[in-house]
Each structure stands twice: as structure tokens, then as C-alpha cells.
Amino acid sequence: MTPPQWQWNEMRQVGTDYADLAEVEKYDRRMATFRDVEAENRRILELLALPPGATVLEIGCGTGRFACAAATAGHHVTAVDISAQMLEYVAEKARHQGLRILDLQHAGFLTMRVPAGHFDAVVSVACLHHLPDAWKLVALENIARCLKPAGQLYLGDVVFSIASGRVETCFQAFINDLPNEVRSNAVGHVAREFSTLDWIMAGLLERAGFEILSAEPAEASFIAYHGRKVQGP
């Protein structure tokens, strides 16, 4: 089905474009130097507390670390990403580890082809900020559509929280708190991407049909939301 002409083009790369597998592999190694990604994935799986064989969708799977962790835990995983190179890397990683990821889709929040009411949980980390706020709502409604009743959402992203002072202060703190090797990427993020404010994100989640169970600041300007679908199928 051809999308309407007014639909946001989520396949247009907003952040850094990793054009080949060698760049993807370097990115994967670099992330592991300043983030304990494996520990993060364990915490996500512990928080979701899914039964064996649960259906899990990851949107923006990147290099596949969470998708592989979920498959290792015995879950049925579908993974989507707008980068064909990332998906190729994930497929090779899964083969190397002897894992089966049920479906790899070259798509995003708006264009993924997933059945309604199918998934026990949806996970997305550091991806929703690629969409402007109006399209974030469309994306979250699409997630709610594909979740089972009471299905869970884990959403982690750069979200600015302004307890006091100016929003510009939050932007600078976000940049300053990151390691030097990724600080230039953070500057580009603030200048060109679509991270929103915490009160807007909470409203978008609630409007899309989610109960927010927790919203934990994991680090400067990064919030991890754990939600549950409260609408019907």
C-alpha cells in the first residue's frame, strides 16, 4: 500500500548514516566502550519480566544487541530499522550466534508491517527522536495497535526535562555529559533532530493509550519510559 504524499518520510536519514558494514561494526564497538549495553539489555528484560516464548518487537534495532539478547532469552523477536546496513549486520550477528530472529524489516515506526494485537512487548531505544512531535503520536498509536491488551512498551530516548532555568541549559548539559568521542554527534542531535520535552512525551504516551508505569532518568536528558497499553485491541 502506497503511503499518502503527506506522510513523514522516516526512511530519510536524520542522524549519522552508517553506509557500509565496516562502519556499522566500528559503531558497534565504539558504543561498547562507554556503555554497558549488555547490562542495559538485561535490565530491560528484567523490567518487562516476559514469560518464555513472548513476542517482542524492537523498533530501531541498530546493531541488534537487544534483539539478540531477547532471542537468547527464548523470545520470538521481530526487529525493524531504517538502515539496510544495520539489518544486514544484525542478520549476520544472529547467524553467528545461532539465533533465530523471526522477521527483519527495512522500515520504521510509520511503515512497519506488523499485525494488530500481536506483540507482548515493544522496545525502542534512541529512535523516536527522529520524528517530529506530531508524528511521534502517530508512531506511538501504531505501537499501541500492534500490542496485545495490557502489552508493554519500553521506550528510552533523549528527552529534555526543565525543572528550572532555560531549555538551552539542558541542551548544553546533555552535550557536556557525553564522552568526547560522541560529543560532536550530540551537537548535531540538538541542532537537527527532534528530541522533545518530558511533559510533551508524557502527554503523547497517554494520548496514544499507554499508562506510564515508570519514567526513570538513566543519564543526563535520557529518560526510560515503561508503559502498558490500556486501550482495547
Domain count, the chain: 1
**Is residue 46, in this structure, part of any structural domain at all?**
yes
Residues 6+ apart with CB under 8 A from 9: none
pLDDT in tens, 174-184: 899 888 877 88
Q: Which residue has the higher pLDDT, 133 or 15?
A: 133
Q: Which residues pair with 154 in a beta bridge?
A: 123, 226
- pLDDT tens-digit series, residues 35-85: 678 899 999 999 999 999 999 999 999 999 999 999 999 999 999 999 998
Which domain CATH number covers 61? 3.40.50.150
Is residue 124 packed enough to be buried (19+ CB in 10 Å), middle (13-18) or exposed (0-12)? buried
pLDDT for position 156: 96
Q: Tell me if 206 is assigned to some domain.
A: yes
Mean predicted lDDT score pLDDT of the chain:
89
**pLDDT band at 206, cuts 50/70/90?**
very high
CA 68 to chain centre: 15
Q: Would 224 be classed as within a structural domain?
A: yes
Q: Containing domain of residue 120, as a range?
A: 21-158+195-229
pLDDT band at 173 (very low <50, low <70, confident <90, very high): confident
How far apart CA 91 and CA 185 sit, in angstroms, is 26
Within a domain: 77: yes
Does residue 185 form part of some domain?
no
Residue 15 lies in a domain: no
- Phi/psi at 178 (5° precision): -95, 155
155, pLDDT greater than 60? yes
Tell which phi-psi region holds residue 150, choosing left (phi > 0), alpha (psi between -120 and 50) or beta: left
Contact 175, 183 (CB under 8 A): yes
Element (H, E) at 58: strand 55-59
- At 32, the amino acid letter reads A
From the CB of residue 174, how many other CB atoms can be counted at a distance below 10 Å?
21
pLDDT of res. 29: 59
Q: List CB contacts of 218: < 8 A, sequence separation 6 or more.
A: 156, 224
Q: Would 1 be classed as within a structural domain?
A: no
* Calpha distance 69→203 (Å, rounded): 31
The stretch 223-231 carries a mean pLDDT of 93
User: Is 0.85 surpassed by the pTM of this model?
Assistant: yes
- 154 lies in a domain? yes
